[in-house]
Structure formats: structure tokens, C-alpha cells
Amino acid sequence: MAYICVLVRNRCKKVLLFISFLFVCMISFAQSNALDEIIWVVGNEVILRSDVEFQRMNAEMQGQKISGDPYSVIPEQLAVQKLLLNQAAIDSVEVSESSVADMVKEQLEYMIQMAGSEEKLEEYRGMTTKQIKNEILKYYIESEKIKEAKRKIVGDRKISPAEVRRYFKNIPSDSLPYIPMQVEVQILTRAPEVNESEVERVKNELLDYAHRINSGESSFSTLARLYSEDEGSARQGGEIGFRGRAETVPEFSSVAFSLTDPKTVSKIVKTEYGYHIIQLIARKGDKVNVRHILRKPKMSEDEINKTIMRLDSVVNDIKDKKYSFDEAVQIISDDKDTRNNHGLMVNTDMQSGGQTSRFQMKDLPQEVAKVVDKMHIGEISRPFTMVNSKGAQVCAVVLLKNRYPGHKADITEDFQMLTDIVSNKRQEEILDNWIREKQKTTYIRIKDDWKKTDFKYPGWVK
């Protein structure tokens, strides 16, 4: 689950570099290979022979083809990462453990599952589970620092329509990218009612936690680990890391930024995620770090069934032309992200920030994709349940607005996607120029037998 208090945190695509991590890690090069050695030094960062072998084997396990000599390509890729890490340190980029906790947990669980047990994983790695977790944590924190350093380097320059048209004007049609099948989907969601007695139960729980904290019977972090339903921050004792005012939902932010005494516990705060109590940890400029405990009222099966039946009646009324799907969304849907857009779902590119109403099936929420896959254009689904972006169970119906077969990109039909392609190319050019300049001012040492002549950036060898 994404951190409960974050305002907008669409689930990023899973980081795949470590997903085949387990099989590669069965041989722990850095620990067991007596021939391991430092082959590159970039600034204050080192690259080991084992790092290169690790990446090479990881690529093989995933069926990835390395274009060129892996003993040139891989060290250079790692060196670029080291340059970006150095820049992140210069820019004082900070990444909290809580911000990557979900990814760390998911990766560790995957590794344990593939090994067969926690004990077998420790045997394979020659490390304790805690050490393995810290290794994964370091990887993800460094990955986030690299992303932030890249973002600052390339900036947020917008690409004009004229630039897109100029870029594709002279490209042969057979060189245009292939666009997989896409769909446009309208959605109507309704959250089941929560009984007042259930809300009171949750509030009483939070009041009890606050009393135990204020009396000194328990610490906030201990209770957060035991009871908070924000799984990501719960593992960090409820800590969410330093956040700006706009990075959390308004109700949460208003209370978090009003706290002045780290020893006190806030009043109960209601947000779209549930009910919280909050404790101040520290302030830094215009950011604040707090702990919180989240509790969610439980929805009864009876209320879920009532909501399903209500939506079933709505679907029948739409089919009987009593009103349109768009009108039903305006009146009934409680999803504020889509209600004012006639229910049309919006796909946001997490790298470029570009938005489109078109989704590849893999980018839709799993429950929606499963329903849409068998639908015809203009068809309305029967009601189903799903978990929304806030982590709450809701009931939903969808209308398949359009289906676009796979095709070669067209400047008119696929303008947004082509804009993203041009934007990514411009960013690559900016980053390339930055790397070439950074090489000139960064200490770089390469072991003689690792100096190659086929590096993409010749400035490594001085």
C-alpha cells in the first residue's frame, strides 16, 4: 500500500532490476569470491568486479540482451549511477526509509518465497534476514536518490506541439513506434456505507492509543507498529519522513503542521483513508516529519451487498435509457478524481507527468482490466468490487468507451504518446551533456585491464 497520507502516489511500475535478484544472489560474489576487487573509482564511490558480474548474471536470468561487451557496458552504466549519486550528495537529496518501505518489503518477501523459506534464503546469501533487508534498503534508497538527481538535471521543460511535429516529420513510417492495444474506460464507484457504531469503535481505539501514549504506558512508535493500518509507515513506527504541506491530503496536513510539541498526540483526524492520530517528530524548513496511526472502519458484507444491488439497479436504468452513464457518474459516483471528468479514467505517465485517457491493459487496476478485457465498446459491466487508489474497498461499474487496436504511431491519434517520446529524448540529450561535463570534474580511476575503447562516453579514461 502506498503511504496513506500522501496526496498523489499512483503506484509506480515495479522496479524490475532486483526481481530476479534471488537466483543471482545464491552466489554472493562480494562475500565468497576471493578474486573480488575494486575495478573503478568514481568520486567517492567504488565499483567492484562482483558488481559487474552481478549485473551480467541478472541480465541473463531476465533474458535481457546487452548491446556490446558487457564488461564495457555494465561498468559504464554503474559509473553513470555513481556520478548521479555524487550529484545527489551535492544537492543534499534525502530519501527516508519509510518512503521505500513498501518496495523493500515486497522484494524481501519475493526472495523468501523463491528461496522456500527465510532460513534457506539466509543460507544462500550467508547473511541474516536483517542484513539482506538492509542491503535491499540501500539499493532502493540509492535508486530514489538517482531518480531525484536526474529529475533536477533534466528539469521540467515542456515540449511544444511544433517540436513534436518537427521531430517526426522526417522519420520513415516503418521507424515509428508500435503502439499496443489501448482502451478508454469510464468508471462509476460507490463506497459502501459504514455503520456509525463501527466509526465509534475505531475512534475509541484511537482514543485508547492516545491515552496509553500520554500516560507513558506505551510509545507512539510501538503502537503504530502493532496497530496502524498504513502498512508502509507502520513498519517505521508510524514515521512518514519529511513532507511538504502539499504532499499530504489537506485534512492530515492541516493538523500535522499545527503540532508544536513532540510529546503530545493530535486529535483524531478524518481523511479519505480513514481515521488517524498524529505525533510530531521534527521540523525542517517548510517540511515536517510526523508519526501517525491509521485505523479504517470495516465495511460489513451486508453494506457491500446493498451497494452492489444499488449499482445493479443503476446499470439497468442506464440500459433502459432513463439516464446516461455520464449523468449517473455525476449523481452517484463518490470518486472525486473521475466524477468531474464524466468518469473517464486518466493514465498519468510517472516520468513525464503527461496524461492521457488511454490505457494499455497492464496499466489499468487489475480488477478493472479483468472486467474490461471481455467487454465490447459501449458495453456497461455488472457491479464488482475493487480496491481504489486510497486502499479502500469500493463497488464499481465500468463502461468501455473505446478500444484502439495495436498500430504504428500516428501523429494525430497518438500525439500525447509521441510527445512523451520526444520529451524523453530531449531529457536523454540533457543528461548525456551533463555526464560529459561531469566527467571532466570528477575523480575517475579505472584499473588498467578494465580500460576499454568502446565506452559510450570516452571521458572515463583520462
Strand (E) or helix (H) holding 74: helix 70-90
Q: Which of 295, 312, 342 is the last residue of a domain?
A: 295
**More confident site: 6 or 148:** 148
Pair (368, 439) in one structural domain = no
Smallest Cα–Cα separation from 424: which of 355, 351, 359?
Answer: 351
In which domain, by residue range, is 339 found?
A: 181-193+299-405
Question: Residue 251 contacts by C-beta under 8 Å, 6 or more apart in sequence?
Answer: 269, 270, 271
Pair (369, 439) in one structural domain = no
In whole angstroms, give the CA distance from residue 145 to residue 86. 10
Pair (189, 329) in one structural domain = yes
User: Would you say residue 32 has pLDDT above 60?
Assistant: no
In whole angstroms, give the CA distance from residue 149 to residue 176. 31
- Cα dist from 410 to 172, 417, 418, whole Å: 12, 10, 8
Q: Would you say 252 and 244 are in contact if contact means Cβ atoms under 8 Å apart?
A: no
- Count the domains in the chain: 3
**377 within domain boundaries:** yes
State mean pLDDT over 218-230: 94
227-273 residue pLDDT tens: 999 887 888 899 988 888 888 999 999 999 999 999 999 999 999 89
pTM, two decimals, is 0.58
Pair (27, 136) in one structural domain = yes
Pair (188, 337) in one structural domain = yes
Pair (321, 369) in one structural domain = yes
Full DSSP string of 314-353: HHHHHHTTSS-HHHHHHHH---HHHHTTTTB--EE-TTT-
**95 within domain boundaries:** yes
User: Would you say residue 359 has pLDDT above 60?
Assistant: yes
Give me the pLDDT at residue 5, please: 38
Full DSSP string of 218-252: S-HHHHHHHH-S-HHHHTTTTB---EEGGGB-HHH
Pair (187, 208) in one structural domain = no
Locate 16 and state its grid cell: 524490475
Q: Which of 274, 295, 316 is the last residue of a domain?
A: 295
Give me the pLDDT at residue 35, please: 59
**16 within domain boundaries:** no
**381 within domain boundaries:** yes
Q: Would you say 398 and 318 are in contact if contact means Cβ atoms under 8 Å apart?
A: no
Give the highest mean pLDDT range of 12-26, 33-47, 59-73, 444-458: 444-458
**More confident site: 20 or 38:** 38
Summary count for the chain: helices (H), strands (E)? 17, 15
Q: Would you say 362 and 180 are in contact if contact means Cβ atoms under 8 Å apart?
A: no
pLDDT band at 414 (very low <50, low <70, confident <90, very high): confident
- Cα dist from 105 to 110, 115, 351, whole Å: 9, 15, 23
Can you list the alpha helix ranges (DSSP code H) found in 160-292? Answer: 161-169, 196-214, 220-227, 231-234, 250-256
134-148 residue pLDDT tens: 989 998 999 999 999
Q: Which of 295, 320, 337 is the last residue of a domain?
A: 295
**1 within domain boundaries:** no
Distance of alpha carbon 227 from the chain centroid: 24
Give me the pLDDT at residue 115, please: 79
State mean pLDDT over 79-86: 95
**Other Cβ atoms within 10 Å of 406 Cβ, number:** 10
**244 within domain boundaries:** yes
User: Would you say residue 28 has pLDDT above 50?
Assistant: no
- Cα dist from 408 to 4, 161, 290, 300, 447, whole Å: 40, 19, 49, 48, 46
User: Would you say residue 167 has pLDDT above 60?
Assistant: yes
Pair (222, 246) in one structural domain = yes
Pair (253, 201) in one structural domain = yes
Give me the pLDDT at residue 168, please: 84
Q: What share of the chain is helix, strand, coil (3-state, %, to 5)?
A: 50, 15, 35
Q: What is the CATH number of the domain that holds 331?
A: 3.10.50.40
Give me the pLDDT at residue 350, please: 64
**6 within domain boundaries:** no
Pair (26, 108) in one structural domain = yes
Q: What is the CATH number of the domain that holds 129?
A: 1.10.4030
Pair (186, 319) in one structural domain = yes
Phi and psi, residue 311, nearest 5°: -65, -30
Pair (289, 317) in one structural domain = no
Average pLDDT, the chain: 86
**11 within domain boundaries:** no
